[in-house]
């Protein structure tokens, strides 16, 4: 990766990934693009709606890109509110990004998700290769996306790579409408109000990861020796699996007065129930050395410290 083109770069992942890539490869070597203007402008930025394939091609060519990181998408809970719009954005944007990458011969990365699994997938230690029959529009998009990326690799020799991200937790940019957002929100509310009402029911386990590990995984996978990759699209990766009461207990260790209650949202609960309890990351570990530094305990210490600085001390 030397000249990196990023779509949806102002979102939860992109806002931090662009900074990391600029630190590693140089500020001017990463072009950030999004459909909206950034709050503060640092480094190269262009407005780009990913449904505009012509502009995407022109910007990537002008920038002399060698790598394409496609992040623009509608996430699971938001996609359920407007499935047709989600299909058009998620599949149309991906198709444009793959076509631009094929025409310019760019290394390609786009994230899949644990949402690519469904209720008939084995729930515990979910294998890398297994049944994928998701029941959400987001999941349908992610499975189709994984297959499309494999197709471009097999058919055109495009260097496509991807991971199935679990819920990502970060103190920098708020999440964009996923089912696992509660695991970010809970830290904000613990500090601001001392209490949290969870829309996910007690006992609902989902895979999660702290953002620094997710960003490192993208870099490690993109830098990995391609000849060692058997899977490409898309690797299971997870750092931890927990249910709401466990994260609440961990927060209570630092804020003893913290209280959590439940007011379950049936839409997001149904999505959560269709996803695995915990996935098996062994293919990513074996093929490109995936590792995670943060477990629930270590992440909670860091989240509370960083959010305290952000929210209380300004």
Active site residues: 138
- Tell me if 269 sits within 8 A of 206, measured CB to CB: no
Closer of 11 and 118 to ligand NAD (Cβ): 11
What span, in angstroms and rounded, lies between the C-alpha atoms of 191 and 94? 38
What span, in angstroms and rounded, lies between the C-alpha atoms of 220 and 58? 28
Closer of 228 and 310 to ligand NAD (Cβ): 310
Minimum distance, C-beta of residue 256 to ligand NAD, in the bound complex (Å): 29
Closer of 73 and 296 to ligand NAD (Cβ): 73
Strand order in the sheet with 30-34: 45-47, 30-34, 4-7, 67-70, 107-109, 160-161
What span, in angstroms and rounded, lies between the C-alpha atoms of 261 and 199? 9
CA distance to 11, 92, 181, per residue, from 173 (Å) = 7, 25, 12
* DSSP single-letter state for residue 114: G
Q: Which residue in 279, 248, 244, 240 sits closest to 265, CA to CA?
A: 244
Minimum distance, C-beta of residue 203 to ligand NAD, in the bound complex (Å): 21
Closer of 253 and 310 to ligand NAD (Cβ): 310
| Chain residue at closest Cβ approach to ligand NAD | 11
What span, in angstroms and rounded, lies between the C-alpha atoms of 207 and 175? 16
Closer of 48 and 240 to ligand NAD (Cβ): 48
Closer of 11 and 244 to ligand NAD (Cβ): 11
Q: Which residues bind ligand NAD (CB under 6 A)?
A: 7-8, 10-14, 34-36, 48-51, 71-73, 75, 89, 111, 113, 165, 167-168, 175-176, 178, 180
Q: Which residue in 34, 16, 35, 33 sits closest to 24, CA to CA?
A: 16
Burial call 230-263: b when 16+ CB within 10 Å, e when fewer: ebbbbbbbbbbbbbbeebbebbeeeeeebebeee
């Amino acid at each position: 990766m030397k000249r990196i083109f990023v779509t949806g770069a102002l979102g939860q992942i992109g806002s931090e990934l662009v900074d990391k890539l600029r630190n590693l490869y140089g500020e001017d070597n990463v072009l950030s693009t999004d459909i909206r203007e950034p709050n503060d402008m640092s480094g190269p930025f262009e407005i780009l709606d990913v449904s505009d394939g012509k502009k995407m091609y022109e910007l990537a060519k002008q920038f002399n890109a060698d790598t394409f990181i496609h992040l623009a998408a509608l996430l699971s809970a938001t996609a359920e509110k407007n499935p047709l719009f989600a299909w058009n954005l998620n599949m149309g944007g991906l198709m444009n990004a793959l076509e631009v990458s094929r025409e310019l011969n760019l290394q390609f990365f786009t994230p899949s998700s644990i949402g690519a699994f469904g209720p008939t997938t084995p729930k515990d230690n979910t294998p890398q290769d297994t049944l994928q029959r998701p029941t959400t529009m987001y999941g349908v998009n992610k499975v189709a996306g994984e297959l499309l990326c494999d197709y471009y690799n097999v058919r055109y020799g495009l260097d496509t790579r991807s991971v199935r991200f679990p819920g990502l937790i970060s103190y920098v940019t708020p999440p964009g409408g996923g089912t696992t957002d509660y695991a970010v929100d809970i830290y904000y509310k613990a500090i601001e109000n001392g209490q949290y009402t969870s829309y996910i029911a007690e006992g609902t386990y989902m895979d999660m990861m702290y953002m620094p590990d997710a960003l490192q995984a993208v870099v490690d996978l993109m830098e990995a020796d391609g000849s060692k990759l058997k899977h490409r699209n898309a690797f299971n990766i997870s750092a931890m699996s927990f249910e709401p009461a466990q994260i609440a207990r961990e927060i209570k260790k630092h804020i003893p007065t913290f209280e959590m209650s439940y007011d379950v949202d049936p839409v997001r609960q149904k999505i959560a129930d269709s996803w695995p309890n915990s996935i098996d990351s062994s293919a990513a570990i074996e093929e490109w050395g995936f590792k995670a530094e943060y477990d629930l305990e270590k992440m909670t210490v860091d989240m509370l410290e960083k959010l305290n600085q952000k929210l209380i001390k300004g």
